[in-house]
C-alpha cells in the first residue's frame, strides 16, 4: 500500500475540533514498525523459572530455549530490544513530533492515580485465579538474580528497565493501538480518521486488545485502557495518551522496586 504524506482528512471523517492534526506522515511505517520490532525481539525473552513440576511440563521455553538463552540473559535481550526499537523510533520521530500536540497537565496525574486500581485488580485476579494465573511477564527481579554481586548490575538493570517502561513502551504501544489499530477499525485509510474517535467498534476492539495483551490482568487492563481511550477522546492529542501511559508505568515501576514480591507485575 502507498503511504500518504499529507495530513488532509477525507471529507466524511468527522470531528468536533477542526484543528486536529490527522497525521502522522508515513503512517504505516510510523505506527507499526516500532511495535513489530518490539514484539518480535520479545519472542526471544526467556521465561521465568517454573518451580511447579506440573506447570514446568507445559512450558516449551520458546525461541529463548531454542537458542540457549537462559533467564540470566534476560537483561541483555531486553537491552537489545530497547536499542532496536529506539532506533526505529528515532527514524520516525520527525513524523511523530509534528503530530503529537501540546501536553495537557492532568493526564499524568490521572496516570499515577490509575496505578492503584491496576495493582489492586491485578492482585485480586491473581489470587482469585480469574482467567489465568500466569501474567506472561518475565518478572525478572535483579535483587534476587544479582544477589551478592556488584550493586551496579542491579541499578543498571533497573535504569534500563525503567527506560523501556516509562519512555519506549508508552510511545510504541500508543502509536500502534490508538495511532493505528483503533482508527484502522473505523477506516482502512486510518490516517484520515481523527485521533480519539470513539464508536462501538472502537470500544470493542480496545477491550479485546486490553484482555488479549494482559489476560492475567484483564480486569485492570479493561479499566485502564478504557480510561486512556477516554483521554484520547477528550483531548484528541496523542501526547496525552503517551504521558498518562508513562505516568502509570513510572508509578508502577517505583511501587514494584519498593515492594518485595511484586516483580511479577513487570
- Domain borders along the chain are 27-265
Mean pLDDT of 221-245: 97
Whether residue 240 has pLDDT greater than 60: yes
pLDDT at 14: 44
In 3D space, the residue among 97, 79, 73, 95 whose CA is nearest the CA of residue 38 turns out to be 79
Cell readout for 89 is 523510533
Q: How many CA atoms lie within 13 A of 121 on its CB side?
A: 17
Q: Are 30 and 90 contacting, i.e. CB atoms less than 8 angstroms apart? A: no
pLDDT digits 0-9 by tens, 181-213: 999 999 999 999 999 999 999 999 999 999 999
pLDDT at 76: 95
pLDDT digits 0-9 by tens, 84-133: 999 999 999 998 988 899 999 999 999 999 999 999 999 999 888 776 55
Cell readout for 182 is 483503533
pLDDT digits 0-9 by tens, 6-26: 454 444 444 444 445 577 888
Whether residue 235 has pLDDT greater than 60: yes
Whether residue 135 has pLDDT greater than 90: no
- Give me the helix-helix angle, 238-258 and 218-235, nearest 10°: 150
pLDDT digits 0-9 by tens, 30-80: 999 999 999 999 999 998 776 555 444 445 568 888 889 999 999 999 999
Amino acid at each position: 500500500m502507498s503511504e500518504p504524506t499529507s495530513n488532509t482528512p477525507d471529507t466524511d471523517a468527522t470531528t468536533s475540533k477542526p484543528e486536529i492534526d490527522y497525521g502522522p506522515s508515513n503512517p504505516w511505517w510510523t505506527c507499526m514498525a516500532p511495535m513489530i520490532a518490539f514484539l518480535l525481539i520479545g519472542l526471544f525473552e526467556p521465561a521465568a523459572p517454573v518451580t511447579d513440576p506440573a506447570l514446568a511440563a507445559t512450558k516449551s521455553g520458546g525461541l529463548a530455549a531454542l537458542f540457549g538463552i537462559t533467564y540470566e540473559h534476560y537483561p541483555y535481550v531486553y537491552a537489545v530490544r530497547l536499542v532496536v526499537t529506539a532506533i526505529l523510533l528515532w527514524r520516525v520521530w520527525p513524523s511523530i513530533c509534528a503530530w503529537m500536540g501540546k501536553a495537557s497537565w492532568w493526564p499524568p496525574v490521572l496516570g499515577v492515580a490509575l496505578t492503584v486500581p491496576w495493582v489492586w485488580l491485578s492482585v485480586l485476579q491473581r489470587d482469585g485465579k480469574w482467567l489465568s494465573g500466569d501474567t506472561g511477564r518475565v518478572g525478572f527481579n535483579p535483587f534476587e538474580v544479582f544477589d551478592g554481586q556488584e550493586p551496579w548490575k542491579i541499578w543498571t538493570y533497573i535504569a534500563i528497565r525503567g527506560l523501556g517502561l516509562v519512555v519506549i513502551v508508552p510511545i510504541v504501544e500508543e502509536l500502534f493501538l490508538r495511532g493505528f489499530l483503533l482508527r484502522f477499525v473505523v477506516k482502512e485509510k486510518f490516517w484520515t480518521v481523527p485521533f480519539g474517535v470513539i464508536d462501538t467498534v472502537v470500544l470493542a476492539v480496545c477491550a479485546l486488545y486490553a484482555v488479549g495483551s494482559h489476560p492475567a490482568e484483564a480486569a485492570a487492563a479493561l479499566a485502564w485502557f478504557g480510561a486512556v481511550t477516554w483521554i484520547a477522546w477528550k483531548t484528541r492529542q496523542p501526547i496525552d495518551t503517551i504521558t498518562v501511559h508513562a505516568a502509570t508505568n513510572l508509578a508502577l515501576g517505583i511501587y514494584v522496586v519498593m515492594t518485595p514480591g511484586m516483580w511479577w507485575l513487570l
